[in-house]
Structure 1
Amino acid sequence: MALDRWIAFVILCVALIYSYAAFFTMDQLLPPFMQRNPIWPSTFPKVLSVLAILTSLVILLGVEKAPEKDSPPEIDYRRLGDYHLWQAIALLALMVAYALLLRPAGFLLSTVSFLTLGAVILGERKFYILLPVAILATGVVWYLVERVLGIFLRPLPFFF
């Protein structure tokens, strides 16, 4: 079985457990006044679990692609050095660093740095486009989370 089907099988197993929790265990402790609402706190998890199950089944059963006769294997494990493996490892390390620096460095500085360094790792060299887009995207997300949703995100480093 191909790698994508194994990943789909793992996602299917996780989605089945998640859907069991969404359909059978989440709504038991709701107060009586919430049980009459048309949308419950478990509505989104139910939709998400059904979509995950359907998507993983489509991949697992091979419905999404027609078999090609002269196609090479998708990943040749004997030639991993030919792929851009260092970029994937660098992005994973950057994600870990972002998660660790989010509180001490603040949301704005860590997110702009993450977006900029991630784009540089992937090969972007137009800094005159990259920096304004990263700053604008970070500012919009911070504004929406902080002001609209009312969730506190420390915008600046802890020493300011």
Structure 2
Amino acid sequence: MALDRWIALVLLGVCLAYGYAAWFTMDGNLAPFMQRNPIWPSTFPKVLSVLGMIAALIILLGIEKSEPKTADIDYRRLTDYHLGQALLLLGLMVVYALCLRPVGFLISTSAFLILGSFILGERKWHTMLPVALIATISVWYLIQEVLGIYMRPLPGIFGG
């Protein structure tokens, strides 16, 4: 079995476990007033687990491959791929997760998007900066104002 199918099999198992948690365990402790809401805290995890299972099954069954088989990833030649970029992005994700609370959402997310796009090869700063800032502020506004979930926008020393 090809590497993409093994990864899809692992992701299918993760989505099954996530879906089980979303469908059967997340809603047990809801307050009575929340049980009458049309959208529960488990709605998005339920949708996400179903979509993940569908995507993993499509890859496992080979439905997405319509053209003749191309070369699979050769794990013996990992140095031919952009392994450095992938490892830098993984490291950047860890740093982002660690800096999210102390640095604040706006600064850490903007820095993550700008540095991530720089690692991936984008060098047009006049495009990269506005896109990262608009995306960060839009997501923060949706989470903070629309959903009503408090997210510290700035570090504590700036009043966040």
- Please, what TM-score do these two structures have when normalized by structure 1? 0.81
Residue 76 (structure 2) aligns with: 78
Residue 60 (structure 2) aligns with: 60
**Per the alignment, in what secondary structure is the counterpart of residue 10 of structure 1?**
helix
Q: Percent identity?
A: 67
**Per the alignment, in what secondary structure is the counterpart of residue 159 of structure 1?**
helix
Q: Which has the larger radius of gyration?
A: 1
- Cα 1:119/1:39, change in 2 over 3 Å: closer
- Cα 1:139/1:82, change in 2 over 3 Å: same
- Please, what TM-score do these two structures have when normalized by structure 2? 0.81
- Cα 1:19/1:111, change in 2 over 3 Å: closer
For this pair of structures, how many residues does the alignment match? 158
**Per the alignment, in what secondary structure is the counterpart of residue 48 of structure 1?**
helix
Deviates more, 1:119-128 or 1:57-66: 57-66
Residue 125 (structure 2) aligns with: 127
Which of 91, 103, 106 is matched with 2:104 structurally? 106
Q: What do residues 1-27 of structure 1 show as CA deviations (whole Å, max 9, x unaligned)?
A: 111111111122223333344444455
Q: What do residues 100-123 of structure 1 show as CA deviations (whole Å, max 9, x unaligned)?
A: 111111111111111111111111
Q: What do residues 5-55 of structure 1 show as CA deviations (whole Å, max 9, x unaligned)?
A: 111111222233333444444555667777677666555444433333232
Q: Which runs of 5 or more structure 2 residues have no equivalent in the other structure?
A: none
Residue 147 (structure 1) aligns with: 145
C-alpha separation in 2, matches of 1:49 and 1:150: 24
Which of 152, 155, 158 is matched with 1:157 structurally? 155
Counterpart amino acid of 1:59? I
Deviation at 1:76, TM superposition (A): 1.6
State the Cα RMSD in Å: 2.5
